[in-house]
């Protein structure tokens, strides 16, 4: 009887473990994905590509438009041209892709900017955004720049800086605090010494602050204005960089940029960061990335900014 019961259980387990692959016949119509974030006195930049099914492993398909423009009632019409990718020999691992850019920077303004994209044989694509007011970094001070003492962290340096800025709820909705580490490397070419400048995005370990923040998928942290009380704010950013090149005698530098962003910018970065952090888990809740693009997907948003550079001395 025991042998018989065991055999039945084994058969049931074998049947239960059989896997059947089911093909889902789902219609998918690719849309044009537009990503553009504009700021005062910076050339506008627009990327265009096709959306893909979630399970697709095909490479990104970039789209060529017949016309890309950004218009503002005060500043007039900006026509953007296609910037073809060129290989960066100093940064071979850098992702390079085509994009549309303006020859001149967008003049500072808080009024509406309208993006229009025309693609042959497709419906016109458009979107509207605003640029918020400028925010100022009151002070930037170096707390620490030193080599990590952990023997397991070879060629790692720690950076700590204090950033002070004034928050005004009438001017600022949300912030994006980003960092760039700039250092020089000497190379001997025959009898000459050539100095190359490198830019690296440091890893943000944490902010020493009581203000809630979210790590951004590209660089730095996102801070919502509703979480901040009015007045002077002080943040301590703890960063780290890692490199094995022999630095030149010139001091390395840290560029700190504080962006005052509109709500579309914040919602896009916040939700895309959540989506990317959960994409490897099958049990994760679906995160919908907002879009303000008419006849397409993506984001057209604006920000204003202030930045400062501080020399890093050990």
pLDDT in tens, 84-142: 876 555 555 556 689 999 988 887 766 789 999 999 999 999 999 999 999 999 999 99
Distance (Å, whole) CA 58 – CA 61: 8
Averaged pLDDT of the chain: 85
pTM of the predicted model as reported, rounded to 2 decimal places: 0.83
Alpha helices, DSSP H, located in the chain: 2-17, 263-278
Is pLDDT of 186 > 60?
A: yes
Residue 296 confidence (pLDDT): 95
Residue 23 confidence (pLDDT): 56
Residue 93 confidence (pLDDT): 57
DSSP state of 25: -
Q: What does the H/E/C string look like for 230-292?
A: CEEEEEEEEEEEECCCCECCCCEEEEEEEEEECHHHHHHHHHHHHHHHHCCCCCCCCCCCCCC
More confident residue, 18 or 255: 255
Cβ count near 209 (within 10 Å) = 16
Residue 213 confidence (pLDDT): 94
For the chain, the domains span: 28-129, 137-283+305-312
Distance (Å, whole) CA 297 – CA 35: 9
Q: Which CATH number is associated with domain 28-129?
A: 2.60.40
């Amino acid at each position: 009887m025991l042998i018989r019961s065991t055999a039945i259980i084994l058969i049931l387990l074998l049947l239960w473990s059989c896997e059947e692959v089911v093909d889902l016949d789902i219609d998918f119509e690719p849309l044009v994905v537009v990503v553009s974030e504009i700021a005062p006195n910076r050339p506008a930049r627009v990327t265009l590509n096709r959306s893909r099914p979630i399970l697709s492993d095909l490479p990104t398909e970039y789209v060529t438009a017949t016309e890309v423009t950004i218009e503002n009632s005060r500043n007039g019409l900006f026509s953007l041209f296609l910037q073809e990718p060129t290989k960066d020999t100093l940064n071979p691992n850098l992702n390079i892709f085509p994009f549309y850019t303006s020859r001149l920077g967008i003049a500072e303004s808080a009024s509406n900017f309208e993006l229009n994209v025309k693609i042959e044989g497709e419906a016109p694509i458009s979107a509207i955004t605003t640029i918020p007011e400028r925010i100022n970094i009151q002070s930037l001070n170096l707390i620490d720049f030193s080599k990590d003492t952990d023997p397991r962290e070879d060629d790692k340096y720690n950076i700590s800086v204090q950033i002070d800025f004034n928050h005004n709820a009438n001017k600022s909705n949300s912030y994006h605090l980003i960092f760039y580490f700039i250092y020089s490397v000497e190379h001997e070419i025959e009898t000459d010494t050539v100095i190359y400048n490198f830019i690296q995005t440091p890893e943000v370990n944490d902010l020493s602050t009581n203000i809630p923040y979210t790590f951004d998928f590209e660089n730095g942290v996102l801070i919502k204005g509703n979480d901040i009380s009015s007045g002077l704010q002080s943040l301590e950013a703890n960063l780290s960089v890692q490199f094995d090149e022999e630095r030149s005698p010139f001091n390395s530098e840290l560029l700190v940029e504080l962006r005052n962003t509109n709500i579309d910018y914040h919602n896009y970065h916040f939700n895309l960061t959540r989506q990317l952090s959960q994409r490897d888990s099958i049990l994760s809740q679906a995160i919908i990335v907002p879009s303000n693009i008419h006849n397409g997907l993506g984001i057209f948003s604006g920000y204003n900014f202030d930045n400062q550079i501080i020399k890093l001395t050990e």
